[in-house]
Structure 1
Amino acid sequence: MGFNPKDAIESVKDIATNAVERSADIVESAGHIIKGDVSGGVEGIVASSMDIATHSVEKVKEIATGRGGDDDLEA
């Protein structure tokens, strides 16, 4: 299956939605830092950032290959 512009737009919307949802976790982690839990706050920020990046890469891969996540599984 090739590139489908409609699917690409949906994937970009999904990336943006996920990033906005995860940004709330980043703000919460920043609050932990302000309250004195620097280690826990930084850990939360890094984890949320990595989740955003991982999700974005997976979606971009789907856009580029025209395949969904389940089609990519290796036997």
Structure 2
Amino acid sequence: MGFNPRDAIESVKDIATNAVERSADIVDSAGHILKGDVSGGVEGIVSSSMDIATHSVYKIKEIATGRGDDLDEIV
């Protein structure tokens, strides 16, 4: 399967949607830091950031390969 522009656009939209949703979690975690829960807030920020990055890598892999296989099987 090759590169499909229509699927690529949908994947980019999905990446952006996921990033916006997770950014709300990051803001919530920043609120925890301001309330004094520094450890929990930082953990939430790091976790949400990693979720954004992981999701983006999988979607970009799908765009580049045209496949939805597990990333570990390809790399």
Q: Answer whether TM exceeds 0.5 for this pair.
A: yes
Runs of 4+ in 1 over 4 A off after TM superposition: none
Point out where structure 2 has 5 or more consecutive residues left out of the alignment: none
Which residue of 1 is the match for residue 20 of structure 2?
20
Structure 1: how far apart are the matches of 2:58 and 2:5? Answer: 17
Q: Once the two structures are superposed, what CA deviation does each residue of 1:17-64 show, in whole Å capped at 9, x if it has no partner?
A: 000000000000000000000000000000000000000000000000
Structure 1 residues 1-75: aligned runs within 5 Å:
1-69=1-69, 74=73
Instruction: Please report how far the alpha carbon of residue 69 of structure 1 lies from its aligned counterpart in structure 2 after TM superposition.
Output: 3.8
Distance 1:31 1:73 in 2: 35
* Alpha-carbon distance between aligned partners in 2 of 1:30 and 1:73, rounded to the nearest angstrom: 32
Bigger Cα displacement from structure 2, 60-69 vs 30-39:
60-69
TM-score normalized with structure 1 length: 0.92
* Cα RMSD for the two superposed structures: 1.3
Say how many residue pairs are matched: 73
Q: Counterpart amino acid of 1:52?
A: I
TM norm structure 2: 0.92
